[in-house]
Structure 1
Amino acid sequence: MIAYFGGILLIAGIAVIQTNLLHGIAIMSVRPDLLLIVVTFIANKNGPGVGQGAGAFSGILQDLLSLAPLGFYTLVNTVIGFLYGFSKGNVFLDGLIFPMMLVALATLLKGLLFSVVAFVFGIEGVVSTVFSTAFLIEILYNALLAPVLYGIMGRMRWLMLDYRERNY
């Protein structure tokens, strides 16, 4: 139970950092999506159920802390968390290449899902930003930060369900 609260606090802390403190490291006003990186890690380590829960919680926080329509990030992050949960046991996140590839693909999937949701609900301007230089910068930014954050989170054993089952 304590481990779940730790995961919730980690996501909440990252959400606050992402929305309030990352302006200083923005490149062309593009900030990395730290929550997406956290969701992909948690989903990969714990499976689809926990992944979609982490995605839903992070999405709700992003919706509340941003100007996006309520549910926009929630839907996208939940789908990504669920899909990336199927990588549990199949994709191992050691080294540099796999975390970078996993997060780059997640960022691309996020952009595509944004486009679909925006098209369905008639939100203008999202499709053009997905196919832009800024989006390419976000993909690269997230991919470069992935090994660093995965390395830090890999040391937080309480984020991994299997570890909690063995030791609690």
Structure 2
Amino acid sequence: MRIFIISVLIIVNFILESTIFQYTRIFGIKPDFTIILITSYAIMRGSGYGAFIGLASGFLQDTFFGYTIGINAFSYMITGYLIGISRENVFKDSYIPSIVFNLGAVFIYQHLFFLITYFTKIDISYTHAFLNIILPQSIYNAILGPFAYRLILKLDEKRFMDNKIYLFRW
């Protein structure tokens, strides 16, 4: 049941992020709720869940909006995996890890995305990207991340989230 609920969360997040969340921009920057979802599950469940949710979310975005399939999928997957690896010594009921990991996740994702686009000959100024996208978005995600993390944590603790059928053993 957990995998089904996570799949629904990925699809709902995709729909909301491509419609309603476009209107949550502050100074032209919108929070990346996909990163918040990936980070939350990577903190709670580990690198396998983080990588899977990142790959699925990124592939969905690449399929509908990407110029090149795989850029978002790869960047989100690596971000989820790295956040999941570093979760071992983290107190999961605190807001602080969510703030720190969301801040770091945006940095990881955006730098991977920038690096891949650089090698595909898409011309983006790093200074402009850092000052106008990476830094503001990481702060925005760090502020909103703990609230979403708390909701996702409460959902994940529900009884119906038990894995009666094990699709993945992570």
2:38 and 2:80 in contact (8 A); partners too: yes
C-alpha displacement at 1:126, in angstroms? Answer: 6.1
Once the two structures are superposed, residues 86-145 of structure 1 have per-residue CA deviations (whole angstroms, 9 ceiling, x without a partner) of: 134322233332211110011111121112111222122263543223332211110000
Task: Give the aligned partner of residue 15 of structure 1.
Answer: 14
1:30 and 1:134 in contact (8 A); partners too: yes
Task: Give the aligned partner of residue 43 of structure 1.
Answer: 42
Q: Distance in 2 between matches of 1:138 and 1:38?
A: 15
Describe how 1:5-154 pairs up with structure 2 within 5 A: 5-125=4-124, 127-154=126-153
2:44 and 2:92 in contact (8 A); partners too: no
TM-score by length of 2: 0.86
Judged with a 3 Å threshold, the aligned counterparts in structure 2 of structure 1 residues 126 and 57 are, in CA distance, closer, same or farther, namely farther
Judged with a 3 Å threshold, the aligned counterparts in structure 2 of structure 1 residues 128 and 68 are, in CA distance, closer, same or farther, namely farther
Q: Distance in 1 between matches of 2:134 and 2:38?
A: 19
Q: Distance in 1 between matches of 2:109 and 2:43?
A: 16
Judged with a 3 Å threshold, the aligned counterparts in structure 2 of structure 1 residues 44 and 25 are, in CA distance, closer, same or farther, namely same
2:35 and 2:105 in contact (8 A); partners too: yes
Judged with a 3 Å threshold, the aligned counterparts in structure 2 of structure 1 residues 128 and 29 are, in CA distance, closer, same or farther, namely same
Aligned partner of residue 132 in structure 1, secondary structure: helix
1:54 and 1:78 in contact (8 A); partners too: yes
**What percentage of residue pairs aligned between the two structures are identical?**
25
1:54 and 1:81 in contact (8 A); partners too: yes
Q: Which amino acid aligns with 1:139?
A: S
How many residue pairs are counted as aligned between the two chains? 165
Q: Which amino acid aligns with 1:49?
A: G
Indicate the RMSD between aligned Cα atoms, in angstroms.
Answer: 2.4
Q: Distance in 1 between matches of 2:49 and 2:115?
A: 24
Moved more, 16-25 or 75-84: 16-25
TM-score by length of 1: 0.87
Aligned partner of residue 19 in structure 2, secondary structure: helix
Q: Which amino acid aligns with 2:162?
A: R
Which structure 1 residue ranges, 5 or more long, are not aligned? Answer: none
Q: Distance in 2 between matches of 1:47 and 1:54?
A: 11
Aligned partner of residue 105 in structure 1, secondary structure: helix
